[in-house]
Amino acid sequence: MTTEATEPTADASRTSGSASKLIKVVVLAALVSVIGVAYFNYGDDLSLAGLAEKEAALQSWQQDNPVLAYGAAWLVYVVVTGLSLPGAVPLTLVFGWFFGFWKALLIVSFGSTAGATVAFLLSRYLLQETVQSKFSERLESVNKAFRREGAYYLFSLRLIPAVPFFVINVVMGLTPISVTTFWWVSQCGMLPGTCVFVYAGTQVPDLQTLADQGWQSILSWPLVAAFVLLGLFPIVVKKLMAKFGRTPEALQNKEEPGRDT
């Protein structure tokens, strides 16, 4: 009787698991398809050269529809950063030029955090098996560090760009950290870098010049000083963390002594 009762339960569990995997695959495939079609159709329009061609039209539209412009800019930034699409840095520069420092800072800061949270949630609910298989060794180290340090661990990773933005998002999605904690810690940790890049955007004379001449068109002593400070800031933070034995090494791609390469 026990065996007969257990077998249907096991079959139901396997069926439920298979259905759950199928739903995840379908949702992920639909998401990738939508992203692919959108990027294929509108990717060039969001490039620096594409935006430069529409410079006058964009400024006129923003003056006529300020609230809509802010919302659209935020949504575009969320999509680009949340799906790890190329173009986040050029968009930051464009927003700094287009909206001015403080307005652009709000859009980019909250947009990048929202995008990071989107990637975090996709990892937690849709990409869990893929991420675990790819980052299994690092994930174990991350979980140990997270249990030991808590939210401070994520904050230190945000301050010290030891690993790519998207890797932090997807790997942290498999830790016990709550969405709320992930949001506010990321918001604070990414703010220094956001300030510098938005400020760089405010130095852009016009988009066509930036597209044609690149960084040379916006270089100035205040901007150089800001980037120097941004470069020194992680070094200072890392030294302070190392002094207290709290440097986040779990996600860094370092070889262990005696380990085969």
pLDDT tens sequence across 19-44: 666 565 566 566 666 666 655 655 55
**182 C-beta neighbours (distance < 10 Å), count:** 23
- What are the φ/ψ torsions at residue 63 (nearest 5 degrees)? -70, -35
Q: Is the pLDDT of residue 62 over 70?
A: yes
Residues contacting 119, CB < 8 A, separation 6+: 81, 82, 83, 84, 166, 169, 170, 173
pLDDT at 255: 42
d(CA 117, CA 106): 16
CB 94 within 8 A of CB 201: yes
Give the relative orientation of helices 88-99 and 55-64 as an angle to the nearest 10 degrees.
60
Q: Is the pLDDT of residue 1 over 60?
A: no
Q: Which two tokens stand for residue 209?
A: 């010049």
pLDDT at 111: 95
Query: Tokens 């140990």 map to which residue?
Result: 144
pLDDT at 3: 52
- Alpha carbon 114 to its chain centroid, in Å, reads 8
Work out whether the CA dihedral 247, 248, 253, 256 comes out positive or negative. Answer: positive
Residues contacting 142, CB < 8 A, separation 6+: 153, 171, 172, 174, 175, 250, 251
What would the mean pLDDT of 212-232 be, rounded to a whole number?
70
pLDDT digits (tens, 9 = 90+) for 82-99: 888 877 888 888 899 889
